[in-house]
Amino acid sequence: MVRCSEVRVNIKGMLKVKVNLKHNKKYKKQQETYLYDPNILLKLNFHQSPAKFEPFISAAYPGENWIKVRPLKDGDYDRGFLQLLSQLTEVGHVTRTQFLTRFSQMKASGDYYVTVIEDTRKNEIIGAASLIVERKFIHNCAIRGRLEDVVVNDNYRGKQLGKLIVVTVSLLAQHIGCYKMSLDCKDKLIKFYESLGYALIPGNANSMTIRYDEEPFTVRHNNTMLDVSDANTVSQTVSLDFSS
Ligand SMILES: CC(=O)SCCNC(=O)CCNC(=O)[C@H](O)C(C)(C)COP(=O)(O)OP(=O)(O)OC[C@H]1O[C@@H](n2cnc3c(N)ncnc32)[C@H](O)[C@@H]1OP(=O)(O)O
């Protein structure tokens, strides 16, 4: 079968038809879908971030030509995205269908900015972080960002990729109009996030959790499980305020 890939009308009104003789088999190579528009990442101004990059890198120029910062793609199931997440927490056995269904739901909502770093030499996802947009009625129907699921493959840590992926989604939050961005983290990572502009808000930096997947209902304080009845202690939330 012959495919017509381009039809143009020139000045004299002559119809020009450019034919693509590629066989259908080659054509079958499916286009992958981005979760969100990758061009937004090229517009982010990394000089706005208090993070110190030495040498300077950004999402558009990540320092090496084999490093690519981009939105998650539906094909990333085959690039080890879930295996990377398993270095952060338990992922479970997620089938391709489950992955693609979740990807479509996230894309349809428009509020999920799962962002990854790919090692293009290996066709492998080596870093990830998610910005999730929360829509509010308060502050004139404002939107705020939540930073979730930050991880860098342990073979690539200590090379600024953690900073790169967190700053990318943080600038992205500001770019799309969030008035603030917050995250929950373990105590040992507070310094890491502080170096990227996040702060513990005095009197308002607690993070509390109730779990429904464990019995009896429990509140978590970092890694320590507490019974809800004596949960006076809580863990911490760090915020990045774009209005100040
Ligand atoms: C909101 C959330 O998702 S919190 C969950 C965070 N993720 C995890 O804990 C998963 C396991 N850890 C990781 O994947 C990585 O260690 C990350 C993402 C935390 C950091 O990634 P890296 O690529 O190593 O970070 P990067 O090289 O950019 O280091 C930045 C700085 O943070 C410091 N840092 C990195 N990891 C840690 C850590 N675990 N504890 C304390 N400091 C750290 C580094 O020393 C470095 O400091 P410097 O700039 O003064 O040299």
Residues 102 and 169 in one domain: yes
Q: Whose CA is nearest to atom 32 of ligand 1?
A: 192
* Domain shared by 156 and 194, yes or no: no
Instruction: Say what the pLDDT of residue 29 is.
Output: 66
Tell me the residue range of the domain where 231 lies.
185-244
133 lines ligand 1 (CB under 6 A): no
**Does residue 91 sit within a domain?**
yes
Residue nearest to atom 4 of ligand 1 (CA): 185
> In ligand 1, which atom is closest to the CA atom of 161?
23
Residue 127 alpha carbon to ligand 1 centre in Å:
11
How far is residue 130's CA from residue 114's CA, in Å, rounded to a whole number? Answer: 4
Question: What is the whole-number distance in angstroms between the Cα of residue 197 and the centre of ligand 1?
Answer: 14
Task: Mark whether 167 and 190 lie in a shared domain.
Answer: no
Give me the pLDDT at residue 127, please.
99
pLDDT for the residue 221: 57
The CATH number linked to 92 is 3.40.630.30
Is position 231 within any domain? Answer: yes
- Count of domains for the chain: 2
Looking up tokens 């950004």 gives 58
Please tell me whether residues 79 and 108 are part of one structural domain.
yes
Tell how far the Cα of 85 is from the centroid of ligand 1, in angstroms.
15
Domain shared by 152 and 189, yes or no: no
Check pocket membership of 154 for ligand 1, CB cut-off 6 A. no
Interface predicted TM-score (ipTM) of this complex, two decimals = 0.95
Q: Is the pTM of this model over 0.95?
A: no
* Atom 31 (ligand 1) nearest CA: 192
My answer on whether 127 and 151 are in the same domain is yes
The radius of gyration of the chain from alpha carbons, rounded to an integer in Å, stands at 22
Nearest to 166 by CA among 111, 113, 110: 113
Q: How far is the CA of 89 from the centre of ligand 1 (A)?
A: 15
What is d(CA 129, CA 148) in angstroms, rounded to the nearest whole number? 6
Classify residue 233 by its DSSP letter.
-
* 148/220 same-domain check: no
Q: What is the mean pLDDT of residues 66-80?
A: 98
Same domain, 119 and 218: no
114, 207: one domain: no
Task: Give the least confident one: 9-13, 132-136, 159-163, 180-184.
Answer: 9-13
Element at 70 (helix H, strand E)? strand 67-71
**Least confident segment among 4-18, 90-104, 216-230:** 4-18
Q: Can you give the three-state secondary structure of 177-211, one letter per residue?
A: CCCEEEEEECHHHHHHHHCCCCEECCCCCEECCCC
Could you tell me if 133 and 216 lie in one domain?
no
Co-location of 165 and 240 in the same domain: no
Helix (H) or strand (E) holding 27: helix 24-27
Per-position b or e across 222-242, b if 16+ CB within 10 A of its CB: eeeeeeeeebeebbbbbbbeb
- Are residue 171 and residue 211 in the same domain, yes or no? no
Query: 160: Cβ below 6 Å to ligand 1?
Result: yes
pLDDT digits (tens, 9 = 90+) for 160-201: 999 999 999 999 999 999 999 999 999 999 999 999 999 999
